[in-house]
Structure 1
Amino acid sequence: MADINPLPGKTFVVEHLDPELEAWSSLEYSAIASECHATGAQFLLSSVPTSLKLPTNLQGAKGLNVETRGIEDIYAAEKDKVCLLDPSASKDLSPEDGDAFDIFLFGGILGDDPPRDRTSELRKKGYQGRRLGPVQMTTDTAVRVTRIVVQGRIPVDEVPYLDHPELKINNNESTQMPFRYVKGEDGRPIMPEGMVDLIIKDSAKGLDDLL
């Protein structure tokens, strides 16, 4: 596992709370690593079991550090600099939080539908919490929005969003995503490379099971 080498900017940490790593999670993590690297930040995937073999797209990914230790051990001396992105927090994330915190913590997997409040496991550890609004986000979207707010200094309610977009599976079928996404310059939701194909493939598989 890689040691942590501080980079300019902020550190975004996803505490991996599952014994496995699903294909869609690996796509999200790859997107987070790429975007963090491009903006001078770093992405830390913590609490990764030693038995978990990273998929090819994450092995050697720029901007990604992987740790078997949990957040409490890694940042034991910097707890006051850690901000937990928590849907149940009483205060929304603000650009000023970029001055107060250096580490932004996310509990995997945020993208559960319906939400299972996996973040509660981290909330109990006593980190200061901030909210990203009322609509459920995927993990990569939550990190993306946090970067936009604390590094881009844009208020969370001024980020351009698309809520519950529909993805076309074929000429006759579409599926509605139950999450909020950042709206791209092309007017479409920003999603990790390969995610739409994976969603369509899984949706088509589910439709076949119904036939």
Structure 2
Amino acid sequence: MAANDATPKAYIVEHLDPELGPWSELEYLAIARESQAAGAAFCLSSLPAGFRVPEALSAVPAFRAENRGVEELYAADKSRVCLLDPSAAKDLSPEDGDKFDAFLFGGILGDDPPRDRTSELRKKGFEGRRLGPVQMTTDTAVRVTRLVVQGKTPLHDIPYVDFPELKFNEHESTEMPFRYVKDDEGKPIMPEGMVELIRKDSDKAIDDLF
């Protein structure tokens, strides 16, 4: 079934954790603002009862919080939902923008080493697509998906930077274990405030910031 061109694209993160860490909050805010600018929607689904959405996030009109899971939200037509799945047989392509309305991401994609957080969604029967072999942060995965399905840019034509080194000063730096989209200056596109968060918490493991 072809996606309805009049239906705005939706980017959905099935949030599998009871809380929202500072890293995820910055990523979700970036996704919400970029989705708003692209005329798309951003949804956090399967939120536990009592989950507190940060004010800055709830203030973005494109954002919505859902206690329901994706299988309930799209019970009428699962075929409209594409699961971004590292184990899928096919890569995401611009044509998928014509086939799907909603693009689903399984919780925290930015784990290092990656945990298979997508496996539960895979079991629910959503059709899957890959974004390539290198681990991405959640906001990068959504950004790449949007560039492909809305911008009609093939995956291999998107400018990437893998494992960039962030230099804080002459003596301090850290290598990020992820793939990012490059900006016009060749730097990794990261959420506003992310470099400062990483610098401030450079003594913590990256996993602790999610």
TM beyond 0.5: yes
Q: Secondary structure at the match of 1:157?
A: helix
Cα pair 1:26 1:57 within 8 Å, conserved? no
1:22-171 paired onto structure 2 within 5 Å: 22-171=21-170
Q: Secondary structure at the match of 1:28?
A: helix
CA shift for structure 1 position 169:
2.7
Distance 1:15 1:102 in 2: 16
Distance 2:8 2:151 in 1: 11
Cα pair 1:14 1:44 within 8 Å, conserved? yes
Residues 76-122 of structure 1 deviation map (CA, whole Å, 9 limit, x = unaligned): 01201100000111100000001111110001100000000101111
Give ranges in structure 2 of 5+ residues lacking alignment: 1-5, 206-210
Matched, 1:177 2:194: no
Q: Secondary structure at the match of 1:57?
A: helix
Classify 1:198/1:155 alpha carbon distance in 2 versus 1 (closer, same or farther; 3 Å): same
Q: Secondary structure at the match of 1:84?
A: strand
Distance 2:168 2:108 in 1: 25
Structure 1 residue identity aligned to 2:154: P
Q: Secondary structure at the match of 2:169?
A: coil
Give TM-score, length-normalised by structure 1. 0.92
Tell me the percent identity: 68
Give TM-score, length-normalised by structure 2. 0.92
Q: Secondary structure at the match of 2:64?
A: strand
Q: Secondary structure at the match of 1:125?
A: coil
Residues 146-198 of structure 1 deviation map (CA, whole Å, 9 limit, x = unaligned): 00000010101110001000001332121000000000112110000000100
Structure 1 residue identity aligned to 2:200: K
Cα pair 1:80 1:101 within 8 Å, conserved? yes
Report what 1:197 is aligned to: 196
Structure 2 residue identity aligned to 1:29: Y
Higher RCO (C-alpha 8 Å, min separation 6) = 2
Q: Secondary structure at the match of 1:162?
A: strand
CA shift for structure 1 position 57:
2.1
CA shift for structure 1 position 71:
0.4
Distance 1:176 1:121 in 2: 30
Give ranges in structure 1 of 5+ residues lacking alignment: 1-6, 207-211
Cα pair 1:13 1:106 within 8 Å, conserved? yes
CA shift for structure 1 position 9:
2.7
